[in-house]
């Protein structure tokens, strides 16, 4: 079990987080760049000293600052594996020597090394030098080295950088197998929602050094606890309740609904959906379909929605109906309203 | 070592950004060759003035090779001292682990800047027989003037700044991320140093050591003041020149070149190969 309570104060950033990751559990720290995600990993790995806080891993106290006698276990004794954005391969060693750098990897033996290299599709590179590798290859070599190092926790900082979709899937499978079979807690840092969702059982949304919401990936995406979380997980439009008058919907003063571009379509609302009408303000091709922008409401209360239309897009300036599925509803201060006040058609 | 391509081989396109370097290449090449010839001038002159008679006269006397052995032994001990004592200093300087690092660097530069002769004179004031250190040494039946130890001290003073400054830049060229990575993988600081820092710095260290060896073998200014005995090769050249003649003196210089050159040459060759590998 990995238990973390950390406070950090830097010129541009104040971090204050607390979370626990169970053995075998995979948690993703998701948030925009500069939210303090990497700093948290570095504090757990012992590269960065917190202002106050504690880190416990598998029954051992690794860090304690500000409460009782200070404890700081040096990085080499923490048994925490950290994959950094810079793969940090040793240029004077071959790929194989890099992977077999740790005593644990040597002890695991040749078959384990070959198997890992094959799974990560780097077995053809074992005799190459790091400088001959592409960015994506170097990253996978660093990961193989890390996974064979036999540590008690796995920390991954943007591990999917530079990998195509197929390799991302392979990497996800390898990471899942590894964390499950060895029953170690793992924490992944990502600034793309898809990466965080692909990896994690649990999603923690971070912004400006604070944890905003923690839950299953599906829950966080469907029921974001605040408007800010909704924005971070991809809700692009917020429609004031006063503009959602059609279909009899109405909510408290100042409240609004969040609209995700993947959960909205043009046309009349069906049962369970929220319907509204607006004016088409933009039409452009997007992939095999069309992306249109619709203005809902008038004057100060108006808001713009984007949605995808597979065929026959409406013309510019045309009035069109828009239907939204299971949209979260936020009060005037931006918090999620537990019970949707909307009267569904 | 960068080699400026003069012409691209057939079928190989010129790298972007190097636009027809005809004039600049010619100038650089011409300048380089001119400087090389100018620097080599004395060596060429040396060969021109060597005579079989001089060589046989110089090398056939009894004990003719003793100065050579003295020089080699003192040089080897000097290198040992540099490697053991100055390598950590260079690393500390490169990693900014020393308080007032600029002060240390200023000290090294001062040693480099002072004429070796002055260093020798100052060493007499520091470790000569009438100084506190001299007294202490004589109690131990040792002396830091006109002994083998004095020769080594003089050579260390003349070569250490070259080695430290070179080694410092070799260490500074290593990405500290790599050392951090090794430590994250479970290596204690000593193992990080042994498995990552040292191998990566080795080519640069070898180069600096080659330069330091050349300085130590040729050390003369400080040596003539505090270590007139035992006589090393540079001093042998000087006394032969004064007592016998130039021809015989030059044949000792030839000996110095022949014996001292292979080690730094080998270090250069190995260093170039090792840095090409990474």
Residues A130, A109 share a domain:
yes
Using CA coordinates, name the residue in chain A closest to B186: A76
Q: Is the pLDDT score of A74 beyond 60?
A: yes
- B82/chain A closest Cα distance in angstroms: 25
Domain residues for the domain of B170 are 68-277
CATH number at residue B196: 1.10.3720.10
Put simply, the answer to whether A76 touches B183 (Cβ < 8 Å) is yes
- The 10s digit of each residue's pLDDT in B186-241 is 999 999 999 999 999 999 999 999 999 999 999 999 999 988 888 888 998 898 88
- The 10s digit of each residue's pLDDT in A308-341 is 888 888 888 888 888 888 788 888 888 888 766 5
Report the SS3 class of residue A61.
strand
Residue A305, φ and ψ in degrees, nearest 5: -120, 145
Using CA coordinates, name the residue in chain A closest to B277: A92
d(CA B152, CA B75) in angstroms, rounded, equals: 7
With an 8 Å Cβ cutoff, is B278 touching chain A? yes
Q: Which of A124, A338, A119, A147 is nearest to A224 (CA)?
A: A338
Residues A306, A159 share a domain:
no
User: Left, alpha or beta for A135 (phi > 0: left; psi -120 to 50: alpha)?
Assistant: alpha
d(CA B217, CA B70) in angstroms, rounded, equals: 10
CB-based contact B152:B78 (threshold 8 Å): yes
Domain residues for the domain of A278 are 228-330
The count of domains in chain B is 1
- A81/chain B closest Cα distance in angstroms: 7
Q: Which of B75, B116, B71 is nearest to B236 (CA)?
A: B71
Residues A154, A105 share a domain:
yes
| Radius of gyration, CA atoms only, chain A | 24
B246 assigned to some structural domain: yes
b/e code B151-184 from CB counts within 10 Å (16+ = b): bbbbbbbbbbbbbbbbbbbbbbebeeebbbbbbb
- A75/chain B closest Cα distance in angstroms: 5
Using CA coordinates, name the residue in chain B closest to A150: B185
A109 assigned to some structural domain: yes
Q: Which residues contact A151 (CB under 8 A, 6 or more apart)?
A: A79, A80, A81, A104, A184, B186
The sheet carrying A264-266 orders its strands as A264-266, A319-325, A273-286, A289-296, A303-309
Residue A315, φ and ψ in degrees, nearest 5: -80, 160
Put simply, the answer to whether B180 touches A81 (Cβ < 8 Å) is no
Residues of A at the B interface, defined by Cβ within 8 angstroms: 45, 47, 74-77, 79-82, 84, 86, 88, 90-92, 101-104, 129, 131, 145-146, 149, 151
pLDDT of residue A114: 93
A187 assigned to some structural domain: yes
ipTM above 0.85, yes or no: no
pLDDT tier at B5, thresholds 50, 70, 90: very low
Query: Rounded mean pLDDT of A265-292?
Result: 85
Domain end among A169, A199, A225: A225
- B76/chain A closest Cα distance in angstroms: 28
Instruction: Name the token pair of A25.
Output: 């559990």
- A101/chain B closest Cα distance in angstroms: 8
Residues A237, A208 share a domain:
no
B47 assigned to some structural domain: no
Instruction: Name the token pair of B175.
Output: 């990405």
CATH number at residue A76: 3.40.50.300
B119 assigned to some structural domain: yes
DSSP assigned state of A296: E
Residues A232, A221 share a domain:
no
d(CA A235, CA A221) in angstroms, rounded, equals: 9
DSSP assigned state of B86: I
CB-based contact A147:A178 (threshold 8 Å): yes
Which residues in chain B are contacts of A145 at CB distance < 8 A?
185
Query: Rounded mean pLDDT of B119-124?
Result: 90
Handedness of CA A317, A321, A325, A328 (dihedral sign): positive
Give pTM, 2 decimals: 0.79
A122 assigned to some structural domain: yes
pLDDT of residue B190: 93
Instruction: Name the token pair of B162.
Output: 């070259």
pLDDT of residue A295: 87
Domain end among A225, A246, A280: A225
Put simply, the answer to whether A84 touches B185 (Cβ < 8 Å) is no
pLDDT of residue B135: 87
CB-based contact A301:A242 (threshold 8 Å): yes
Q: Is the pLDDT score of A93 beyond 90?
A: yes
Using CA coordinates, name the residue in chain A closest to B196: A90
Put simply, the answer to whether B182 touches A101 (Cβ < 8 Å) is yes
Facing residue for B181 by CB, picked from A77, A88, A151 = A88
- The 10s digit of each residue's pLDDT in A126-171 is 999 999 999 889 999 999 999 999 889 999 998 887 788 888 889 8
Facing residue for A75 by CB, picked from B183, B200, B277 = B183
């Amino acid at each position: 079990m990995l238990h973390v309570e950390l406070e950090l104060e830097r010129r541009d950033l104040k971090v204050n987080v607390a979370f626990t990751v169970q053995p075998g559990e995979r948690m993703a720290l998701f948030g925009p760049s500069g939210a303090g995600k990497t700093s948290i990993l570095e504090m757990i790995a012992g590269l960065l000293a917190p202002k106050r806080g504690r880190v416990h891993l598998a029954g051992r106290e690794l860090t304690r600052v500000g409460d009782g006698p200070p404890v700081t276990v040096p990085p080499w004794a923490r048994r925490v594996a950290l994959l950094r954005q810079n793969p940090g391969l040793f240029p004077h060693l071959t790929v194989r020597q890099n992977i077999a750098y740790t005593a644990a990897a040597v002890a695991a033996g040749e078959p384990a090394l070959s198997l890992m290299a094959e799974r990560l599709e780097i077995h053809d590179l074992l005799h190459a030098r790091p400088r001959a590798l592409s960015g994506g290859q170097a990253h996978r070599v660093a990961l193989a080295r890390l996974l064979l190092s036999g540590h008690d926790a796995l920390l991954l900082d943007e591990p999917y950088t530079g990998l195509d979709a197929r390799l991302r899937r392979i990497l996800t499978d390898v990471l899942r197998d590894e964390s499950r079979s060895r029953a170690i807690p793992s924490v992944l840092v990502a600034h793309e929602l898809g990466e965080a969702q692909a990896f994690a059982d649990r999603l923690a949304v971070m912004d400006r050094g604070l944890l905003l919401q923690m839950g299953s990936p599906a829950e966080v995406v469907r029921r974001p606890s605040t408007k800010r979380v909704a924005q971070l997980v991809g809700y692009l439009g917020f429609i004031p309740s006063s503009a959602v008058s059609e279909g009899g919907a109405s909510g408290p003063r100042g409240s609004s609904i969040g609209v995700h571009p993947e959960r909205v379509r043009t046309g009349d609302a069906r049962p369970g959906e929220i319907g509204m009408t607006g004016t088409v303000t933009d039409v452009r091709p997007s992939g095999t379909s069309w992306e249109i922008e619709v203005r809902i409401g008038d004057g100060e209360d108006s808001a713009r929605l984007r949605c995808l239309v597979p065929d026959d897009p409406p013309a510019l300036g045309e009035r069109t109906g828009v239907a939204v599925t299971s949209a979260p509803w936020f009060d005037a201060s931006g918090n999620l309203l537990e019970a949707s006040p909307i009267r569904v058609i | 070592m960068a080699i400026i391509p003069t012409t691209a081989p057939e079928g190989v396109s010129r790298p972007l950004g190097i636009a027809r370097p005809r004039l600049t290449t010619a100038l650089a090449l011409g300048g380089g060759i001119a400087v090389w010839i100018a620097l080599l001038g004395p060596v060429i002159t040396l060969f021109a003035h060597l005579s079989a008679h001089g060589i046989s006269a110089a090398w056939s006397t009894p004990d003719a090779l003793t100065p050579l052995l003295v020089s080699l032994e003192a040089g080897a001990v000097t290198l040992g001292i540099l490697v053991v004592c100055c390598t950590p200093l260079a690393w500390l300087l490169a990693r900014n682990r020393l308080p007032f690092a600029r002060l240390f660097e200023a000290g090294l530069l001062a040693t480099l800047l002072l004429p070796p002769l002055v260093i020798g004179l100052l060493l007499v004031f520091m470790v000569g027989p009438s100084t506190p250190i001299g007294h202490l040494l004589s109690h131990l039946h040792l002396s830091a003037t006109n002994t083998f130890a004095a020769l080594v001290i003089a050579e260390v003073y003349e070569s250490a700044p070259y080695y430290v400054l070179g080694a410092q830049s070799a260490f500074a060229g290593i990405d500290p991320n790599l050392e951090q990575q090794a430590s994250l993988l479970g290596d204690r600081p000593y193992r990080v140093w042994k498995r990552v820092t040292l191998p990566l710095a080795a080519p640069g260290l070898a180069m600096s050591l080659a330069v330091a060896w050349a300085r130590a073998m040729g050390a003369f200014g400080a040596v003539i003041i505090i270590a007139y005995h035992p006589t090393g090769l540079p001093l042998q050249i000087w006394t032969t020149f004064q007592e016998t003649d130039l021809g015989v003196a030059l044949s000792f210089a030839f000996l110095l070149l022949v014996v001292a050159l292979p080690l730094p040459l080998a270090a250069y060759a190995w260093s170039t190969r090792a840095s090409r590998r990474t």
